[in-house]
Each structure stands twice: as structure tokens, then as C-alpha cells.
Amino acid sequence: MLAPQAFDYDSQTRQSLDRMQRSELRYSVVEFVAPTEYMVRPPQPLVYLFLIDVSFPAVTCGLVATATRTILESLDRIPNKDGRTKVGFIAVDSSLHYFSVSPAATEPQMLVVGDLEDTFLPQPQDLLLNLNACRAGIETLLTQFNDMFQSTQNGSNVMGAALKAAHKLISPIGGKVVCLMASLPNIATGKLTPRDSPQAAGTGKESSLLQAQNSFYKSFAVECSKHQVSVDMFLFSSNYQDVATLSCLPRYTGGQTFYYPGWNASRSEDAVKFATEFSRYLSMEIALEAVMRIRATSGLRMASFYGNFFNRSSDLCAFPAFPRDQGYVVEVAIDETLTKPVACVQAAILHSTCYGERRIRVLTMAIPTTTNAADVFASADQIAITTYLSSRAVERALSSGLEAARDVINAKLVEIFSAYKTNVLASNTGGSTPLQISANLKLLPLLALGLLKNVHVLPPSRLTVLGRIEEIYSNWIRYEICRIGFIVNSPCSAFNPVYPSKVLCSP
């Protein structure tokens, strides 16, 4: 680390410098242009590989037509300032349908592979299409896509094999795999079966329904993370959809899960909702191949992390993709008595922009310390606490069931109010004293009650296991976690940081 005196000297210009002119000392959020020492390879281009379910349920509900039309209308909105963005398409039923477009051709070529045990890539050089060079062919393909499968009667889905093929195609580069599914994978690798069991509600078997049904999805997610491949899931179903299993892929690869129960394009509100969200998703600027490390003042320790990423070590989180509308909760533990007047927490995020620049975003927060419990309660954020409670509740639900998740919320709320009564109101409380809390936490009981009444954790008498499983994943993974202990802004957030000109920072 730099000694305080070193801040008065600019190592690049070799001249004295007023330390208060340094951006890293004046602003809490600063981005540095990373030197080559921070690059294993040149920054990767933005890659979207679409795996589109073209089975009978997907075609009849209108998913194929709506999704391809939305992609076509959003081509100009996909981030592509540097002209390196690539897209690819694989249609999935009982076989894998690849689409090849060469820059000189306007008509796409369909290549069908029926070997599901040992997937291979026909003409791999023409399957990832440069958005600029192959624009005419891409538009033709999207225009004709729905018509190719309009008369299908095929009800099979080999999405597991499609995921393996997608990984083989983009793992040398990295990028995003976008799955649009209206049926369960029911053949070959990653096969799933309906497993809703209303009789398991409120019993010890309930938590097992929240776990992945097939180990392929967890192991495959780890492999994707190693190769900077992120998976996003758009799940549609009029019947059962195993969100608990399929959401493992976005959860460990920095992706997102979108769930549309009972969706049908014949209802205009359904079609508009999906088209709007999907178009916004395609136009979103994201960061790529990111890693995050958080450090703090001596005596503080990063105890737990919540969010969609892969935890490589105790303090290093890996994000193949870093969407701008996701946040992450970090629970900070106090291991030693803090004697200094200020405690500091700093997050450093090394990432590549979708325009090919490697950067380091540094977020620093200085928090005053106190020995007065009243000051601690007066500075607490009830929204942040509620967000933290929701993350803890989901974690407990996955391991112990939904009853345990409700208990976590209740226990933490009782703990907070008991601590306030003991440490702040100890001198003027009695048996008939009404429940009291600091003014900034007065809505905390209402917020906690909202969590308990949410479909995530409703008791069995109020909601079927199927509904709770699907909702707990679709809502929690998309929930924008923020403001708990320390704010970690996504590198592509709408907040505009300071960009020092080619600043080099010490490791």
C-alpha cells in the first residue's frame, strides 16, 4: 500500500501533487483504466448466443414468434459501438438446429444435428455472426424463424445438450447464453421430470423441492464460470417449470432468471410485458469477465456474500457477466473491538466493458464508529435491513425449508427490538412499556410483515408448494439487492463515476 506521503507525488509525471487533487481521495467511486498486467487476454467482445425452444408448447404459446420479433426489432439497441458484437442462434427440440450465415450471403443455412450424446459443431466458423458484417442474413433468419417450425408436432426438449453445444461454441471467447424455454428438458443430458408435491408442504421434504433435481446444472454452471460464460434463463410455462433446478445456471454464472407463469402471446398484456423486458435486457450495457474483492479495516471481516456469482475463495467473487440492474449483499462481521474513529470498507471490481476496455472500479466507504448504541440504531437503514432479511430467508429456505425462512425473519426482528430495549431504553422501561424503536426503523415491522406475507414464504395453507418454489426463485434472483452494510454498484450502473485519464493504480 502507498504511504500517506506518497499521495503527494505523481509517479507518472514525477512531480509533486496536491493530494486533494487525486480523484481516488476525493470521490467514493472511481474507475481506473487497467494496465496490461491486469489482462490475461485482450478484452472479450460481447457475445449473445440464443437457445430458443421450438418444441410444440413453445410454438403454440407464441414464444418463438414473439422472441424472434423482439430480437429483430432490438438489433440496433444491442451494445455494439466497437463493431465486435457477435450473435448466434440454436433452435432446440429433439435435435439441435444450428444456423450458419456467411458475410457474403443473405440467406441462412440450417444445420441439424441429432447426435445428443456427443454434440459437435458443424461449420463452427459461421455459427457466431458479427452483428455488422452479417446484418442482412441475421434479419432474414429472424424474419423466417417462426415459419420454419410453425407446423411442428415435436414435444421434446434437449436443452441440456444445447447448453453443452453452446459452451463448446463460445467458451474460447466467453459471452452470454440466452435460454428461452417453454417446456422442461425431457431428453438426454439434463433431463428433468415434474416433481410438484402438494403433500410435501410444511414437511421435512419441502426443502428438497427447492434443490436442483439434476446435478448437471450445478456442475455445468461451474464450468461456464471458468470460461467466462454467463447463462440467462427466460422461462415460460402453462404447467410445471422446474425453476429451482434451471435457475442454478444464472445463479453461479452472474446471470438472471425471468419467469412468466401461464404466459401466452394471445394475451396482449403477456406479449407486451415479455417484449418490453426482453428488449430492455438486450439493450442493457453490461460488464464482462469481472472479479470483485472487498477489503475492510482491521477487525472487520466479509462473512457472507449474497447474489448471483461464483465464490472462488473466501473474498473473491467471479462474474462472467455483470448486469447493471443487479446488486449484491455483503454481510460484514466484527471480529475485534474497533478503536479507531472511522472504519473503512473498499470494494475493487476488475472488469471489461462491453466496448473492449479493461477497467478497475474502486468503491470506498468510511463509516464512523461509536460506543453509543443509540447512534447505531439512529443510523440504521430499514430498507437495507429488510433486503438483508430477505436474502437470509432465501438461504435458509434452500437448506431447511420455508418454515425455517419465516423463523429467520421473526427471530431477527425480535433480536433488533430486544437490543434496542436493553441498550437504549433500559433506564426507563417497565412491564407495561409499549413497543418502541428509533424513528428511522418504525416501518421495519411492517416491512418484515410484508416479507412474511409474500408468496416466497407463505405457509402451506395459503399457497401450493409449486407456486412458492417458482416464485421464490423468479423473484429473489431478479430482486435488486442493495444498501446492506456496503453498497456495491455494478460497473455499468447508471451512476457516473469519475474517470481519471489513464490512471494506474497499485495492486
pLDDT tens track for 116-162: 888 888 888 889 999 999 999 999 999 999 999 999 999 999 999 99
- For 149-206, what is each residue's pLDDT tens digit? 999 999 999 999 999 999 999 999 999 999 999 999 998 888 998 887 666 666 667 6
3-state secondary structure 23-42: HHHHCCEEEEECCHHHCCCC
CA distance 380 to 377: 5
- For 438-456, what is each residue's pLDDT tens digit? 899 999 999 988 888 876 5
State the amino acid at position 507 in one-letter form.
P
pLDDT (mean) for 43-61: 95
DSSP class of 265: T
Query: How does residue 228 score in pLDDT terms, banded at 50, 70 and 90?
Result: very high
Q: Which of 280, 168, 187 is nearest to 234 (CA)?
A: 280
Domain annotation for the chain: domains and CATH numbers? 17-44+286-366+493-507 (2.60.40.1670), 47-283 (3.40.50.410), 382-483 (1.20.120.730)
pLDDT at 478 over 50: no
pLDDT (mean) for 63-79: 96
Query: How does residue 61 score in pLDDT terms, banded at 50, 70 and 90?
Result: very high
pLDDT at 239 over 90: no
Longest dimension (CA), the chain: 84
Q: Provide the pLDDT for residue 458.
A: 63
The answer to whether 486 and 333 have CB atoms below 8 angstroms apart is no
The answer to whether 357 and 24 have CB atoms below 8 angstroms apart is no
Q: Provide the pLDDT for residue 295.
A: 92
Task: Kindly report the average pLDDT of the chain as a whole number.
Answer: 84
Query: How does residue 415 score in pLDDT terms, banded at 50, 70 and 90?
Result: very high
The answer to whether 483 and 379 have CB atoms below 8 angstroms apart is no
As given in the structure block, the three cell numbers for residue 466 are 409449486
pLDDT at 70 over 60: yes
- CB neighbours of residue 449 within 10 Å: 12
As given in the structure block, the three cell numbers for residue 233 are 434463463
Q: Provide the pLDDT for residue 443.
A: 92
- For 332-385, what is each residue's pLDDT tens digit? 999 998 889 999 999 999 999 999 899 999 999 999 999 899 999 999 999 999
Contacts of 263 (CB under 8 A, 6+ apart): 61, 63, 182, 236, 237, 238, 270, 274
Partnered with residue 371 across adjacent β-strands are none
State the amino acid at position 434 in one-letter form.
P
pLDDT at 298 over 60: yes
**Would you say the pTM of this structure is higher than 0.75?**
yes
Q: How far apart are the first and last CA of the chain?
A: 8
Q: What sign does the CA torsion over 100, 65, 214, 228 have?
A: positive
Q: Poorest-confidence range of 169-183, 327-341, 392-406, 454-468?
A: 454-468
Can you spell out the DSSP letters for 187-239?
SSTT-------GGGTTSTTGGGGGS-SSTHHHHHHHHHHHTTEEEEEEEEESS
Question: Of 185 and 404, which is predicted with more confidence?
Answer: 185
Query: How does residue 465 score in pLDDT terms, banded at 50, 70 and 90?
Result: very low
Dihedral of the alpha carbons of 144, 152, 99, 120, in degrees to the nearest 10: 180
- For 80-102, what is each residue's pLDDT tens digit? 999 999 999 999 999 999 999 88
The answer to whether 140 and 108 have CB atoms below 8 angstroms apart is yes
Q: Provide the pLDDT for residue 477.
A: 36
pLDDT at 287 over 90: yes
Q: Poorest-confidence range of 123-127, 398-402, 497-501?
A: 497-501
DSSP class of 434: P
Give the helix/strand (H/E) hosting 279.
helix 268-283
Q: Provide the pLDDT for residue 433.
A: 63
The answer to whether 44 and 228 have CB atoms below 8 angstroms apart is yes
